[in-house]
Amino acid sequence: MPPAPTSIDSSTGTLVAPKTRSSARKLWFALHSWIGMKLCILLSFIFCTGTLAVIAAEIDWLIEPAMRVAPQERQASWGEMVAAAEVAHPGLRLRSLSAPHGERFAAEALMRQDNGELLRVWVNPHTAQVTGQSSWWSAQRWLRDTHRNLMLPPRYGVPLVALMSIPLLLMLASSLYIYKRWWRGFLAWPRKGKPRLTWGDVHRLAGVWSLGFMLLIGMTAFWYLVESLGAKAPLPPAIVQLKGTARHAPLAAEDVDRAISAAQAAWPDLKISGLRPSPNGKALLLEGQANGWLLRERANVIGVELATGQILGRNDGQDMSVHQRIGELADPIHFGTFGGWPVRVLWFIFGLLLTTLSLTGAYIYGIRVAEATRAALKRRGAPAGSPQSRDPSAWSVAWQSMGRWRWLGAGVLGVWGALLIVQVWK
């Protein structure tokens, strides 16, 4: 959010904080302006891809016809859906089966191929019929790998992206300090007039409405940074071993359904959202949501022996340590997956506001400097038609004002683009 109106040095075209400000406010203002300009490219890209990642499943639904099903009253059992996927691809090993993302979505079975790559097999959750298959590469995967690690190896990309949480939180803190009585801006509709006035009001309005969201995103992203530096929470004890590539006979539908019935009898509060067979096909892990609040599905897991229905153990999210709870709640908060589509829509809107903030901040800076430059040229009497008399555009001024940092941002995006092309053409 921009502070109160500032002056511009006509000789240099740089922003100057009012002399009436305290030294502390001048420092906050300088920090806010510096971060907003120098990191504009990288922050805008991360905000934009994160916004799209919130609705990535819906994007895939529009792209992939096999994901689309018509709602029906009948619900196929988990066993029927497992059997359908394995019958359709008898040579592949089932890795997992996930419940439909929404009412008109197909269930997703992940099947591992002989070359190690994963195949998405889509199953109608009402008729238990396979509707088609698609590759592991999807819009959801592209957006996740882009937003999370910029297509770079995770050991480098995750810390780089998560590091942006620090400037984001500094922008939040500085905006509250330099924008006096910010709470009055929630209903301040943008005024019409000069572009600088209108876009300044848009910037302030988007800023005050996204304050809470900015704090949530900044804190969870900072947690990802902490995790990437070695402070990741320990995982709960394994109920069954999931490592290995042993082949097994196709799972029988009745065995799967019996195991699920036993799990639901032992843990009635568990709302199952996915299952994973052990590599030897003798056990089934079921995961979902239970009584714990703001947890990933993997936090609640129960293991069942397929042959007997015996409960092998369970991990309840409510029994986790504080460290583990923090690690498990980061994703639901960061991506808005804890409240269904209404929360995702809200997160998408707030993500657009953050992207708007980043871009309008740079644009406003460019407008102000361009106006100061035009005024200085006019006073100097530059000849009409000369290069010096041409009006600089706001975006070109903003680009130049980024200095060497613009090449860092552009370079990172260039590497991302190259890695994307390599991935697509594999």
In a domain, 394, yes or no: yes
Q: Are residues 209 and 103 in the same domain?
A: no
Quick one: pLDDT at residue 7? 46
Q: Round to whole Å and give the CA distance between 85 and 179.
A: 57
In angstroms and rounded to an integer, the radius of gyration of the C-alpha atoms of the chain is 27
Cα torsion at 323, 325, 326, 329 (round to 10°)?
160
- Sequence-distant contacts of 320-328: CB under 8 A, at least 24 apart: 320/236, 320/292, 321/233, 323/233, 323/234, 324/233, 324/234, 324/236, 324/299, 325/292, 325/295, 326/223, 326/233, 327/223, 327/227, 327/232, 327/233, 328/233, 328/294, 328/295, 328/296, 328/298, 328/299
Q: List the end-to-end C-alpha distance of the chain, in Å, as a whole number.
A: 43
Q: Which residue has the higher pLDDT, 229 or 18?
A: 229
Residue 220 sits in the same domain as residue 260:
no
Are residues 32 and 175 in contact, defined by beta-carbon separation less than 8 angstroms? yes
Q: Which residues contact 159 (CB under 8 A, 6 or more apart)?
A: 225, 228, 229
Q: Are 367 and 196 in contact (CB under 8 A)?
A: yes
Q: Give tens-digit pLDDT for 74-131.
A: 999 999 999 999 999 998 999 999 999 999 999 999 999 888 889 999 999 999 999 9
Q: Is the pLDDT of residue 267 over 90?
A: yes
Per DSSP bridges, beta strands 301-305 and 311-315 are antiparallel
> Which of 87, 104, 137 is at the close of a domain?
137
Do 172 and 223 belong to one domain? yes
Residues 147 and 205 in one domain: yes
Domain for residue 1, yes or no?
A: no
Residue 383: pLDDT over 60: no
What's the rounded Cα separation, in Å, for the pair 271 and 297? 9
User: Within a domain: residue 326?
Assistant: no
Per-residue pLDDT tens for 250-260? 899 999 999 99
Q: Say whether pLDDT at 388 is over 70.
A: no
Within this chain, do residues 210 and 106 fall inside the same structural domain, yes or no?
Answer: no
User: Does residue 112 sit in helix, strand or coil?
Assistant: strand
Mean pLDDT score, 273-296 = 92
Q: What percentage of the chain reaches a pLDDT higher than 90?
A: 63
Give the CA angle between residues 368, 31, 45 to the nearest 5°. 75
Q: Is the pLDDT of residue 1 over 80?
A: no
Provide the residue count of the chain.
426
Residue 34 burial (CB count, 10 A): 14
Q: 325 lies in a domain? A: no
If pLDDT is split at 50, 70 and 90, which confidence band does 15 have?
Answer: very low
Q: Tokens 């803190």 belong to which residue?
A: 173
Question: Does residue 218 fall inside a structural domain?
Answer: yes
For 106, the domain range is 65-137
Q: Are 117 and 105 in contact (CB under 8 A)?
A: no
| Collapsed DSSP state (helix, strand, coil) of residue 315 | strand
Give the largest Cα separation in the chain, rounded: 92
- Together in a domain, 117 and 197: no
Confidence of residue 318 (pLDDT cuts 50, 70, 90): very high
77 and 131 share one domain: yes
Are 224 and 369 members of one domain? Answer: yes
Q: Which residues pair with 302 in a beta bridge?
A: 286, 314
What pTM was computed for the model? 0.86
**pLDDT given for residue 2 in this prediction:** 43
Can you give the pLDDT at residue 179?
82
pLDDT digits (tens, 9 = 90+) for 326-373: 999 999 999 999 888 999 999 999 999 999 999 999 988 888 888 777
Helical H segments across 89-164, by residue range = 139-149, 154-163
Q: At 84, which CATH number?
A: 3.10.450
* Domain identity same for 244 and 365: no
Instruction: Please check whether residue 221 is in contact with residue 334, taking contact to mean a CB–CB distance below 8 angstroms.
Output: yes
* Residue 2 within any structural domain of the chain: no
Residues 243 and 226 both lie in one domain: no
Mark whether 293 and 177 lie in a shared domain: no
Residue 13 clears pLDDT 50, i.e. is over it: no
Our count of domains for the chain comes to 3
Q: How far is CA 317 from CA 148, 168, 407, in A?
A: 25, 30, 45
- Tell the residue number behind the tokens 């995967």, with chain if given: 141
Mean pLDDT over the full length of the chain: 88
Dump pLDDT digits (tens) for 167-213.
999 999 999 888 888 888 888 888 887 888 888 888 889 999 999 99
Q: Which residue has the higher pLDDT, 137 or 426?
A: 137
Q: What local confidence, expressed as pLDDT, does residue 98 receive?
A: 97
Give the pLDDT confidence score for residue 19 in this predicted structure.
Answer: 47
Closest C-alpha to 127, from 73, 64, 62, 65: 73
Can you give the pLDDT at residue 245?
Answer: 63
What pLDDT does residue 381 have?
A: 64
Show which of 137, 162, 187 is a domain's final residue: 137
Please report where in the chains the tokens 């007039």 appear, as a residue. 193
Query: Considering 320, 351, 378, which residue would you say is the last residue of a domain?
Result: 320
Write the single-letter amino acid at 359. L
263 in a structural domain? yes
CA-closest candidate to residue 205, choices 22, 26, 364: 364
Q: Is residue 217 part of a domain?
A: yes
b (16+ CB within 10 A) / e for 149-187 = bbbbeeeebbbbbbbbbebbbbbbebbbbbbeebeebee
Residue 18 tokens, joined:
């009012």
Q: What is the percentage of the chain residues whose pLDDT exceeds 70?
A: 90
